[in-house]
Amino acid sequence: MMTMSVFLLGLMTATGQAGPDQNLQMSDTVFKNVRVLKGIPVDEFMDAMGMFASSLGYDCSSCHSPEIRTNRDAFAIETPAIQRARGMITMMNSINRTYFRGEPRLSCFTCHRGNYSPEIVPSLALQYGELKEDPNAIVIFPDRNVSADQVFDKYFFRMLGGRERLAQLSTFVATGTYSGFNTGGADVPLEIFARAPDQRTQIIHLREGDGVKTYDGRNGWVAEEWRPAPLVTLTGGNLAGARLEAIMSFPAAIQNAFSQWQVGSTVIDDRPVQILQGANAGETPVNLYFDESGLLVRLVRWNKTAVGIVPTQIDYADYREVAGVKLPFRTTVTWTDGQNTLALNDVRPNVPIDSAKFTRPAPFKRR
């Protein structure tokens, strides 16, 4: 993770092409020597890098030149691994076009599964070992005996104080700490501003400068040092994910956020959980996981990239009552580019918040 941190901090290009008037940056304008993954948004491009890291068990220095630790321009150097990756992407796209009508049925993970070299010899240990179900699977097996309304009723009424009480929570301002790959594991000050139904701004106060992530109800941005540009506009599944995080601050709206729901079950850490999977036409679904008490313990969403679908996992813990509503005071976000933890120590409900808190942030600037 330390190597990943060095890589991500080095990704900010010296050109600084993402200025305040630029709404959307594309991969081949922000980065140099992009040959295959051209014409896609920067946030999707970074998720594609996460797909490579997750599928091969790599970090970025595994493929790029060692010079990236001291020279940002070195990311453009063509190493043998980069050249091979371009060939692999071409091969993967060809297979998907030929055999799956262009649908992304084959990805890097299909063959590599965490290894640099795909295994070609069957594993007897795997064949006869204990079968472990992945709780984060995008395909679930529906339970026709339980309705989504039953799960939501238990969540809203028994654990969150009821829909009426939830409706009375209109805003909150929270403070706490943030830690992750970009802090070296150290805790740094955190502020969260949230307004119902779906506005949220997160600010982490780093020594180098403030990192900001904002969703204003329609659009989302991140302005953080480790991002590939000083200000990145969120697109696709990342924009939908920012909206989802904002909605979950006031979860009464979550049931109506998706047109279709189905119920399943699985196990997390040897504990049974119920899954509610919500879906909208043309979008990747979202999985909500509830423990036996009815509390939400995990959310998993996905984002489509040019090289396949990548997951983001959000775990919720340490529920405390705020204005009669139980809110998680500890949130852990895990995705293919890193992991971070948000730990709240104070939440002030129903306080006035200046609307300027939810506007597009200024590009990141070092102190």
Domain boundaries, the chain: 2-112, 148-358
148-358 has CATH 2.50.20.10 classification: yes
User: For residue range 336-351, what is the model confidence (pLDDT) as tens digits?
Assistant: 988 999 999 999 999 9
Q: What is the average pLDDT across 61-68?
A: 88
- Spatial separation of the C-alpha atoms in residues 26 and 40, rounded to whole Å: 5
Q: Which pLDDT score, from 0 to 100, does residue 345 have?
A: 97
Report residue 140 as tokens: 């679930």
Q: What is the average pLDDT across 80-107?
A: 94
Q: What is the average pLDDT across 293-320?
A: 95
Instruction: Centre a 10 Å sphere on the Cβ of residue 335 and count the other Cβ atoms it contains.
Output: 19
pLDDT higher than threshold 90 for residue 329 = yes
Q: Which residue has the higher pLDDT, 332 or 1?
A: 332
Closest CA relative to residue 156, chosen from 169, 171, 143:
169
- Spatial separation of the C-alpha atoms in residues 290 and 57, rounded to whole Å: 30
- Spatial separation of the C-alpha atoms in residues 115 and 109, rounded to whole Å: 9
Q: What is the average pLDDT across 183-201?
A: 95
Q: Which residue has the higher pLDDT, 312 or 17?
A: 312
Tell me the angle at which helices 236-248 and 42-56 cross, rounded to the nearest 10 degrees: 90
pLDDT band at 161 (very low <50, low <70, confident <90, very high): confident
Its pTM stands at 0.89
pLDDT band at 23 (very low <50, low <70, confident <90, very high): low
Site of tokens 């939908």: 240
Taking each continuous run of H as one helix and of E as one strand, the counts in the chain are 9, 13
- Mean pLDDT across the chain, nearest whole number? 90
- Calculate what percentage of the chain has a pLDDT beyond 70: 94
pLDDT higher than threshold 50 for residue 280 = yes
User: CA–CA distance from 118 to each of 81, 94, 115, 244 (Å)?
Assistant: 15, 19, 6, 35
Q: What is the average pLDDT across 29-54?
A: 93
- Spatial separation of the C-alpha atoms in residues 302 and 291, rounded to whole Å: 22
pLDDT band at 8 (very low <50, low <70, confident <90, very high): very low
pLDDT higher than threshold 60 for residue 75 = yes
When the candidates are 1.10.10, 1.10.468, 1.10.730, 3.40.1580, the CATH number that belongs to 2-112 is: 1.10.468
Report residue 338 as tokens: 């890193």
Q: Which pLDDT score, from 0 to 100, does residue 282 have?
A: 87
What is the widest separation between alpha-carbon atoms in the chain?
A: 62
Closest CA relative to residue 335, chosen from 263, 269, 224, 237:
237
Q: What is the average pLDDT across 67-94?
A: 90
